């Protein structure tokens, strides 16, 4: 770990005690900072709170202590989910105190180079593919996954060496809180409209994503989705060297041609051998190939990983078969585009979709063509009626409603036949019923496991 002096004997405020908040607090303490932590929902007997107090860190619970916060602090590190209209964040901005996220500190202390992945969809799958491909041949170092994938970057960065690589999934929330963050390779998987409740406008969301390349130079590599005209325009605005991946045309990178995944004009592997279903996962695979080829990873290693890669938890995750029915957990599909991509990986006439969740005020007309030939749809949550209305307009033959994804599982089984697909792909955030998409997916997985036991009796 680089022993930086930026925070030594200086006051730093950490806002939020999620896992990244805990990690960044402990790292700042190691770097000699005087740290004050505030969390709105934590309790005095929480293990994280007790651990930090034992380290001599000042932990303030409840509302942000605005009266104690002043220009004597050199930085605020906030957990990504805290909005910028938070009173303490607003005061920090007014005082011109940097408001950062933990990936900024992770970059500052990491001895390993960083490969950063962002985009609206496909980040986690692409990140994981890259990590597995690198670890198939990387020696003597190894690839470490970190960031928005669920492993705080500030937890990983102190552990790596110059021989390692950090493969970091980065969200728009995290990138917005960076100043010096500088990956040697960056990927933008795609850009669509989302998170407008956080960023306010599509332009602000895209600006946050574009932070990923702000400090890159001609010696660095920026990899963009060649299927999107918008990203071709972005490619003309960076100092980094640019490569594209594409399923639609040849590119100076990885692309799809006659059912082959190609790289710089040479065959890598047959697209039909990629284990994950769906054209979106072919895009993810092409993005990952473009990254790992920069590190000299062989076609054999790439083929082995992609032909055995069955997905990341909650991302079109194959759960197994029950009486010939295949169950998939795609709880991470928190918007219509993600659900659409999952649906297009399966034959609609054999697919029973389970969808619903938080009502953010949007409609579902984008899904009309994907609902048209579905075998059935089961809706739940706040958007249940909206989804049913869309399904009726699309001509979906069987439309049912249930309380939640758990109760949808036995109903879907009753509606299905052998060789059918039962897919949880909610197209909505989870917060009307669950604290996060992971909890929703875990509940669905438990329900599928319970059904398996019941059927096997």
Tokens of 408: 């949808």
Q: What is the DSSP string of 103-147?
A: HHHHHHH-SS-EEEEE-SSSHHHHHHHHHHHHHHH--SS-EEEEE
- List beta partners, residue 327: 320, 422
Q: Out of 123-127, 194-198, 347-351, 366-370, pick the least confident.
A: 194-198
Give the pLDDT score at 193: 82
Contact predicate 403/438, CB 8 Å: no
- For the segment 22-40, the average pLDDT, to the nearest whole number, is 96
Give the pLDDT score at 387: 98
Domain ranges of the chain: 11-100, 104-308, 317-456
Q: Comparing C-alpha atoms, which of 329, 286, 325 is closest to residue 311?
A: 329
| HSE value, Cβ hemisphere, 13 Å, CA-based, for 254 | 27
pLDDT, one tens digit per residue, over 159-183 is 999 999 999 999 999 999 999 999 9
**Could you give the CA distance from residue 24 to residue 314 in angstroms, rounded to a whole number?**
26
The pLDDT-based confidence of 91 (bands split at 50, 70, 90) is very high
| HSE value, Cβ hemisphere, 13 Å, CA-based, for 23 | 22
Average pLDDT value for the chain: 95
Give the pLDDT score at 277: 83
Options 1.10.150.120, 3.40.50.720, 3.30.70.1350, 3.30.590.10; CATH of 11-100: 3.40.50.720
Contact predicate 153/102, CB 8 Å: yes
Per cent of the chain over pLDDT 70 is 100
Domains 104-308 and 317-456 share a fold: no
Q: How many CB atoms lie within 10 A of CB 298?
A: 14
Contact predicate 401/384, CB 8 Å: yes
**Could you give the CA distance from residue 82 to residue 375 in angstroms, rounded to a whole number?**
40
The pLDDT-based confidence of 278 (bands split at 50, 70, 90) is confident
- Which of residues 379 and 279 earns the better pLDDT score? 379
**Could you give the CA distance from residue 403 to residue 429 in angstroms, rounded to a whole number?**
16
Class in CATH terms, 104-308 = alpha beta
Distances (CA, A) of 286 to 129, 246, 292, 302, 326: 10, 7, 10, 11, 26
Tokens of 357: 């969740």
The pLDDT-based confidence of 51 (bands split at 50, 70, 90) is very high
What CATH code is assigned to 317-456? 3.90.190.20
Give the pLDDT score at 280: 87
Contact predicate 230/188, CB 8 Å: no
DSSP state for residue 315 in the 8-state scheme? B
| HSE value, Cβ hemisphere, 13 Å, CA-based, for 138 | 20
- For the segment 433-442, the average pLDDT, to the nearest whole number, is 94
- List beta partners, residue 256: 261
pLDDT, one tens digit per residue, over 309-361 is 987 888 888 899 999 999 999 999 999 988 998 998 899 999 999 999 999 88
pTM attached to this predicted model: 0.81
- For the segment 377-400, the average pLDDT, to the nearest whole number, is 97
The pLDDT-based confidence of 158 (bands split at 50, 70, 90) is very high
Give the pLDDT score at 34: 96
Give the pLDDT score at 385: 97
- Which of residues 251 and 423 earns the better pLDDT score? 423
């Amino acid at each position: 770990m680089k022993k930086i002096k930026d925070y030594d004997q200086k006051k730093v405020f950490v806002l939020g005690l999620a896992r990244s908040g805990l990690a960044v607090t402990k790292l700042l303490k190691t770097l000699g900072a005087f740290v004050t932590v505030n969390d709105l929902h934590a309790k005095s007997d929480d293990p994280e709170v007790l651990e930090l107090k034992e380290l001599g860190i000042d932990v303030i619970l409840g509302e942000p202590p605005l009266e104690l916060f002043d220009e004597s602090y050199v930085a605020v590190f906030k957990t990504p989910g805290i909005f910028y209209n938070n009173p303490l964040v607003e005061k920090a901005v007014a005082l011109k105190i940097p408001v950062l996220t933990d990936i900024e500190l992770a970059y500052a202390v990491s001895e390993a180079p960083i490969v950063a992945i962002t985009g609206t969809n496909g980040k986690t799958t692409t990140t994981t593919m890259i990590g597995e491909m690198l670890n198939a041949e990387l020696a003597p170092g190894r690839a470490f996954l970190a960031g928005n994938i669920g492993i705080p970057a500030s937890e990983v960065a102190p552990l790596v060496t110059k021989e390692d690589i950090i493969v970091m999934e980065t969200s728009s929330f995290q990138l917005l809180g960076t100043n010096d963050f500088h990956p040697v390779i960056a990927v933008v998987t795609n850009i669509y409209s989302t998170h407008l409740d956080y960023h306010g406008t599509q332009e602000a969301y895209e600006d946050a994503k574009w932070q990923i390349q702000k400090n890159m130079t001609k010696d660095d590599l920026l990899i963009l989705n060649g299927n999107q005209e918008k990203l071709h325009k972005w490619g003309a605005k960076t100092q980094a060297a640019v490569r594209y991946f594409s399923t639609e045309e040849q590119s100076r990178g990885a692309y799809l041609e006659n059912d082959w995944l190609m790289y710089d004009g040479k065959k890598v592997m047959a697209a039909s051998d990629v284990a994950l279903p769906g054209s979106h996962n072919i895009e993810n695979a092409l993005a990952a190939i473009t990254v790992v080829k920069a590190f000299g990873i062989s076609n054999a290693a790439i083929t082995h990983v992609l032909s055995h890669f069955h997905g990341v938890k909650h991302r079109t995750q194959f759960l197994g078969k029950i009486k010939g029915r295949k169950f998939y957990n795609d709880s991470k599909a928190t918007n219509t585009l993600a659900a659409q991509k999952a649906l297009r990986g399966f034959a609609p006439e054999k697919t029973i979709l389970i969808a619903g969740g938080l009502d953010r005020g949007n409609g579902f007309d984008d899904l009309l063509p994907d609902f048209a030939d579905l075998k059935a749809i089961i809706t739940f949550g706040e958007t249940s009626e909206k989804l049913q209305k869309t399904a009726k307009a699309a001509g979906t033959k069987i439309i049912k409603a249930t309380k939640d994804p758990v109760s949808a599982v036995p109903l879907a089984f009753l509606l299905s036949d052998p060789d059918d697909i039962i897919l949880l792909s909610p197209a909505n955030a989870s917060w009307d019923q669950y604290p996060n998409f992971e909890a929703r997916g875990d509940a669905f997985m438990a329900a599928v496991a319970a059904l398996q036991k019941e059927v096997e009796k």
